[in-house]
Amino acid sequence: MNEDEVRQALRAVIDPDVGIDIVEMGLIEDIAVGDGRVAVDVIMTTPICPQGEAIRDEAESVLRRAAPAAAVTVRLLTEPMWTPDRLGPAARARLGWG
């Protein structure tokens, strides 16, 4: 699995509040792939978001399905802070940034 494939797999994880995937929301901070390992760092839109662990679990589950042979770890970071600048173009279009 390469970085793009990891990113594509993570698009299956949707934030139910806004119906947008975590990649478009700009929640992916880092992706490292190699030596049979997939490691992803994610942030939440606020460090006091109660959904952090649930989204982390979902991301791990999606990656394990996409790369069954790899050792998958997803870390939940409290920094950096999310800002709206991190929204992807499709998210902006859907949310009316026009």
Partner 1 sequence: MVTGLAAGEARLGWSLPGATLAHVHGVLMVSAFFGTVIGLERAVAIGHRWAYAAPLSSGLGGLATIAGAPVAGAALLVLAAALFGAVNAVAAHRQPALFTVVLLCGGLSWLVGGLAWLATFDATAAVPWWAGFLILTIAGERLELSRFLKPGRWRVPSAAVVMGLVLAAPLAGVIGPAVMWPLWGAALMLLTVWMLVNDVARRTIGQPGLTRYVAVCLFAGYAWLGIAGVTALLLPVGAGGMVYDAVLHAVFVGFVFSMVFGHAPVILPAVLRVKVPFLRLYYLPLALLHLGLALRVAGDLGGLPEWREWGGLLNGVVIVLWIVTTAAATIVATRRRAAEQARTRPAPADAS
Interacting residues toward partner 1 by CB under 8 A: 16-19, 45-54, 57, 78, 81, 84, 87, 91, 94-98
In the complex with partner 1, the residue whose CB is nearer, 2 or 46, is: 46
Residue 50 CB, shortest distance to partner 1, in Å, is 4
Distance (Å, whole) CA 9 – CA 83: 23
Eight-state DSSP code of residue 85:
G
Both tokens of residue 62?
Answer: 């999606």
Reading the block at residue 59, the tokens are 């991301």
Alpha carbon distance 76, 26 (integer Å): 14
Q: Which is nearer to partner 1, 32 or 95 (CB)?
A: 95
Residue 23 or 31: the one with the smaller Cβ distance to partner 1 is 23
Query: Smallest distance from the beta carbon of 93 to partner 1, in angstroms?
Result: 10
Tokens of 23: 């990649």
Q: In angstroms, what is the minimal distance from the CB of 15 to partner 1?
A: 9
Closest distance between partner 1 and the C-beta of residue 3, in Å?
Answer: 26
Task: In whole angstroms, give the CA distance from residue 6 to residue 39.
Answer: 10
